A and B are shown apart, each in its own frame.
Chain A
Amino acid sequence: MLELKRRNFLKMSAASMSGLLLSGRSAFSVPNLSSDPHLFLMLRTSGGMDATLGLDPQVRSPDATESDLFLEYRPEDIISIADLKLGPTAKPLVPFAKKCAVLNGLMMRRDAGHDSLIQYMATGKGDGSAAYLPVELAASFGAGPYGVFFTEPIYTGSRNVILTTPQDIFNEGEGPRLSQMLKPLDPNKEKTSLLALALRNVISGEITAEKLIKTLAEVKKVHPNLSMEIQALLSAFISGASQQGLLDIALEGNLDTHADHEKVHFDLQTQVWQKVADIFSLFEKTPFHNGSLMDYTTFMVISEFSRTPFLNGAKGKDHNTDTNSVLLAGKGIQGGKTVGSSRVITAKKSNTGTPLHIATAVDITTGLPAENPKNASFIFPENVIRTVSEIFGNPKGFSAVDSNIAIIRGLIK
């Protein structure tokens, strides 16, 4: 068997490229240059999603009233599929249930605001010391020549990684090819500035650039109605230009419904899950290596926190950092499974005097729901980040969270 050293790797790459050009085969059918790629896509939605409407549906207990738990659906509207229970907004996920795992009862500690908490969720650190997970994986697991694909500002911390935007992917096909043109500027290997790094990538990325341009053209042809962001993402992943991405789910409204929550948040959250399902569907239909793009991609869908179980005076729901939910899907994920849970505590029984929707505490010795606060803890964002790191083989140099943070084994296939 041919040893896949760098020289052979480049030879193979060149061969497959020339084969591609000669035969004129679809870019979709071209094997990725890596033997077993593992892609990662973080889908981020901002505002704070009411988990009771989607990933963590609830049924009002007999002793609870609407002022404890406001719900816009009946118990029979909750969708049960495999080991998953989905609220009505998450209905679009049903076809993909076997590939999805839901993590409920994620404790976000306290309300430090949208920015701090989305950062906590995306990095596993609430103090701003770590990079977003796609960046951390790019730095430790390895990245494509175009680095991390992103659509909205991404926090890179101290990681020196290449970042690429949809506009960049689209610009690639326009104007002159830069790799040959800039070859004499190939920086000395000792130079490690971001400029040097990026220049080196432009110069050495000719094969990928060609493939990316061809793939983008094909994607545009096959999926003319997709947004520019999705076309660029798909092209970047298929061509091997990027292996990690952060995609913001843009909505026609604001999920942060402190007022007039009813129906408005429901419709917006339905949009979120529809868009997620559309991406799953697209990835599933896209041939890649020996399967589909879905088979080679791990997805993580996040929002900063959930929302209070009751309506406030403005008929809105405020931030609830006592619980949150995350959807994981794709490669390495134990599909059709729910891990973790939350509970609604009525005002009468609540230790704070207000109704709570709160993560279930876990007994740290057994991993089962705790019966009392002794030896109990919660699942936190750092556990999720640590778990994804494990799914990627715990890459050397991964430092977003400490290696002694507990892994949520139930999520891993």
Chain B
Amino acid sequence: MEEKKKRKKKKNHIPFRLNILFLIIFLAFSALILRLGVVQIVHGEDYERKLEATNKVVTKVESVRGLIRDRNGTLLVGNKAEQAIVFTRKPDQDTQDLLDIAKKLSQYITVSTNKKVPDGALSTEQVTERDKKDFWLALHPDKAKAMLSAKEQNSKKAYNLMLDRITDRDLATLTTADLKVAAIWRKLVTASNLTPTYVKIGLTDKELATVGEHLKEFDGSIDTAVAATRSYPEGEMFFLGNVKEIPRHEVNNYLAEGYNRNDIVGTSNLEQQYENILRGVPTTYTFMTKNGKPVGNPIKEEGRRGDDLVLTIDSRLQKAVGTVIEKNLRKFHSTHANSAYAVIIDPNTGEILAMVGRAFDPSTGKIVDDSSGTVLKAFQIGSSIKGATILTGYQNHAIPGLFDDKPIKFSKDGKPFKSLEAIPTVGPAEALEYSSNVYMGRVVGNMAGFRFYDHGSYYSVQVFNGPRFVHAFNALREGYSQFGLGVSTGIDLPFESIGYEGPLPLDSPGIIMQFAIGQYDTYTPLQMAQYVSTIANGGKRLAPHLLKTVNEPSGDPTQVGPVKYRYEPKILNTIANTKEQIDMVHKGFYLVTQGPHGTARMLGALNAHNRSYKIAGKTGTAQVNTDRGLDNLAFIGYAPYDNPKVAVALIVPETHDNHANLYIAQDIFDVYNKLYPGQLK
């Protein structure tokens, strides 16, 4: 009986604990219903909206790119319509399906093996190393699998491992025929679902007919259409830039901005710089999907063609300057003139009128266009820098009074620092007229705290490399940068060179004198143009620019549409000099061409009878190779001297002293005067 009672007692714990269990279960289920209420009733609308968003597929088709014209409305970059093959990827097509399509297509269209093909054409040269590997893996799925162990096949890195393990020998098995298929295939695989993608642009009539006959074989994936490619009616000019497929390493940036993987985008210079304007608004197609498959007709949202650019460039001047440079290079080729670069700019607005470079190609002996050198190549510009040196000297209160131009000796037997010809007593303007090196040496010597001693026929100088020297060196460089020398000019191109900066010469402080006469740092012709403009316009450093206006597309393709945006002159800084100081340099530059001893009298005093306007400027000769006697011959100048309308910067690098710079400068001003009659008076 007692045992039974105990048993009963033992048994009794079960219902109690089951009730506890039941309570826990009740609470758990209540929590579920509560949470369900939050998700479905409180946030139901939000989730519904999110769900709707996932049930849409938006595809984009790029609109026609904007045109580019020069300042006179001449078309520089246009679009031409060409026959093309369009591929539209379906959601259920896999790599192998695409391979089949590529193989079939390769029978109907030609694929070039040349490196350079027109935009939109296919070439086996477009197939990159990575493309080859991807293609090989698609071609040999079984062999690819065999490269991995069972464990590796399931790893996330399986594909990368396969890529690593493909040998050059494997890739060598790809025949030219294979590569032609690969050139097509790589276009197909980058296509996004439901987005029409050009496979080949520029079909011949025969290709068009053949593909047209076989369209049925492709089950709607392949179609023919009209595509636009860029055309260059006035010839290619470097600053226009290129359009190309999005570079592989930048794909993600472009995807983030709403591009498709295989869109054509501006990849250099103006096409890249003004991509947003030229691109326009793509046409979008919104498909509704049901279980991941598109249903019904897409909603079309019409895009807008890109806006047009009108440039500051005058293509007539651009061409004419090219012609005069070529003429002079031929003329002076015997005296080692191999290349020349010139920038013509409006000093009051920063509008670039022409940027021209020409060079002999040593392999062919022919002159080729090297106009990009005006922003990409940098040179020592010799004495043409002296205007900036004088003004920097003023800023640092280092301009000496009148003094005699005599050689400066650093040591008894060393090579003295002297002017090219013996010059009498000079002030700042005469120092520019005569191009006095000694004067400049004295200016920066004063800045650096050097001590000069007059020995009758020469000066001796005691140099220091202390803090004052360091400060002077940096102040000189800072002074030059106020004119744009050695710094970014702010041009509207994605890339420009800013030249080479020499190290701080603590071991031989006397080098600061070379720096002061343009024989230390290097500068681009564009920087030279900004420098001369800054002096010409009275001290404002303006950003040089190629864009004049952005215009809406016009109905009539021969007309420029209404202006949407106008590039306003952009002042980057104003130099820290008084008007009197700047006028002193103007006077010096005037004397260079008009004075009795000017170094460019050829452009003024000597030719006064056949020139109706007056040029001011400064020549420069940088001794870059004393062994072979090669100098950089530079010229910067503007006209008319008292009311500058145009500024010119030019350089003929590494040539004998043949005055090629002056001949080219003279021709450029004459060409400008002919194109803009009456402007220079």
> Do the two chains bind?
no
B: residues with CB less than 8 A from A are none
Interface residues of A (CB under 8 A from B): none
